Amino acid sequence: MKALLGECQSGIYIGSMHKARIKQDRIAVIGYGSQGRAMGLNLKDSGYVVAIALPPKSKSRRLAKKDGFKSVGTISQIVKEADIICFAFPDYLHGRVYDRDIRNNLKKNATLLFLHGFSVHFGFVKLPKSSDVILMAPHAPGLMVREKFLGDRSLSAFYAIAQNRSGNAANKALHLAAAIGFKKRNLVKTTFELETIGDLFGEQAVLCGGLASLIKNGFEVLIENGVPAVNAYLEVAYQLDQIIALIKKFGINGMFDRISVAAQLGSIGTGPYVVDRSVKKRMQQKLKEIVSGNFARELNSLSKSHVKSLKHKTRLLSNRQFEQAVRKFNITISKG
Ligand SMILES: NC(=O)c1ccc[n+]([C@@H]2O[C@H](COP(=O)([O-])OP(=O)(O)OC[C@H]3O[C@@H](n4cnc5c(N)ncnc54)[C@H](OP(=O)(O)O)[C@@H]3O)[C@@H](O)[C@H]2O)c1
């Protein structure tokens, strides 16, 4: 079957770091949530002049001021003075906010820095011709990006250039990466397209949606057959981080080499039976919907009330007894 996606020379970035300093550039971080706070604080601590841009009634303004940012203003005010604009607010709002508050206030040659390729790849943000456009997508939530920076340890991130109008976009990207806390050896080169499609598919089919369904089903089978809820939670979810740690270090083969013979034998018969080829077929279907832009259009048309209702709908992906078991076990172990 023909590949759905364009090609990219994949691999860890190993280019040499340009010496030019760009710290005098003023950076507007739009949004002060998970990634915005980490980006703002890390860039500021690395010596950049950072201003935080938020809607007039934003709840996040107080936190940004409390964290020591002197310049906290509206998006149109802050963008006018910025050399680099970091899109650190929800992807489904990028197009609307760009058209209303960013496009007409952009300095000529301002660099656009995205943390996800979504709004550029699907064309919701129409790129200005004179800008460099960079992607720096962390492989972790903002809190970890900040923690690793403070602990002087590096995380990995995807990195891509959509437009290189200055001829210097790659160097800018590397300087920004270093200032955010991503070491050069931990940058994985990609394209906006591959990052967007891979990220959406990964979180929907495997990491978040797929995993939640697998855990929920496993949990329900155990409790419906008499296993107490806390025990079932411990069996199907609690130990996942240890299995993932093994997979991350040694691969799936290495994980199997390090588990019991019973787990090995049982996995051979049960794994591909429970998660069979029909699952892969449905994954292929979901990937097509992502690539076609159907999912992107749905996401991009969300209203505030839709977003609020999502919280309610995601509750259906878990099980009340599972959530109670998590709380109960956490209380038990917190007592030592
Ligand atoms: N979170 C992650 O783990 C993660 C990982 C990798 C990449 N990313 C990418 O990082 C970017 C930011 O994601 P995030 O998870 O950090 O977002 P987020 O936490 O949901 O962003 C919330 C922030 O955006 C502000 N905001 C809300 N509406 C806004 C508007 N119309 N204009 C400007 N700011 C607005 C919020 O202000 P209020 O407090 O007033 O609502 C809040 O400060 C996205 O591109 C995302 O894909 C995220």
With contact defined as beta carbons under 8 Å apart, do 92 and 37 qualify? Answer: no
320-334 vs 209-224: helix axis angle to the nearest 10?
A: 90
> Per-domain residue ranges for the chain?
11-190, 208-334
Q: Is the pLDDT of residue 16 over 90?
A: no
SS3 134: strand
199 lines ligand 1 (CB under 6 A): no
Q: Which residues is 72 bridged to in the sheet?
A: 52
Q: Is the pLDDT of residue 10 over 70?
A: no
60 lines ligand 1 (CB under 6 A): yes
Q: Which of 111, 157, 155 is nearest to 134 (CA)?
A: 111
Q: How far is the CA of 227 from the centre of ligand 1 (A)?
A: 40
Rg over alpha carbons for the chain, rounded to the nearest Å, is: 22
pLDDT band at 335 (very low <50, low <70, confident <90, very high): confident
Structure tokens of 84? Answer: 């680099």
Range of weakest confidence among 15-24, 148-157, 223-232, 324-333: 15-24
Look at residue 7 in the predicted model and tell me its pLDDT: 53
Which among 116, 175, 306, 312 is annotated as catalytic? Answer: 116
The mean per-residue pLDDT over the stretch 200-218 comes to 98
Stretch (H or E) spanning 222: helix 209-224
Q: How far is the CA of 65 from the centre of ligand 1 (A)?
A: 17
CATH class of 11-190: alpha beta
Q: How far is the CA of 90 from the centre of ligand 1 (A)?
A: 4
Give the span between the Cα atoms of 287 and 285, in whole angstroms.
5
Question: Mind listing the pLDDT tens digit for each residue in 34-43?
Answer: 999 999 999 9
92 lines ligand 1 (CB under 6 A): no
Q: Is the pLDDT of residue 323 over 60?
A: yes
pLDDT band at 21 (very low <50, low <70, confident <90, very high): very low
Look at residue 6 in the predicted model and tell me its pLDDT: 54
Give the span between the Cα atoms of 150 and 197, in whole angstroms.
31
Q: Is the pLDDT of residue 267 over 90?
A: yes
pLDDT band at 20 (very low <50, low <70, confident <90, very high): very low
Structure tokens of 258? Answer: 């390090």
Beta strands, E only, 66-180: 72-73, 84-87, 111-114, 133-138, 157-163
* Residue to mutate (ligand 1; options 52, 54, 74; most atoms within 8 A of CB): 54
CA distances from 199 to 208, 215, 217 (A): 11, 21, 24
95 lines ligand 1 (CB under 6 A): no
pLDDT band at 1 (very low <50, low <70, confident <90, very high): very low
Burial of 329 (0-12, 13-18, 19+ CB in 10 A): middle
Which atom of ligand 1 is found nearest the CA of 33?
A: 19
The mean per-residue pLDDT over the stretch 235-254 comes to 98
Angle at 278 between CA 272 and CA 280, to 5 degrees: 80
181 lines ligand 1 (CB under 6 A): no
Q: Is the pLDDT of residue 9 over 80?
A: no
DSSP for 52-88?
EE--TT-THHHHHHHTT-S-EE-HHHHHHT-SEEEE-
Is the model's pTM score more than 0.95? no
Question: Mind listing the pLDDT tens digit for each residue in 130-177?
Answer: 999 999 999 999 999 999 999 988 899 999 999 999 999 999 999 999
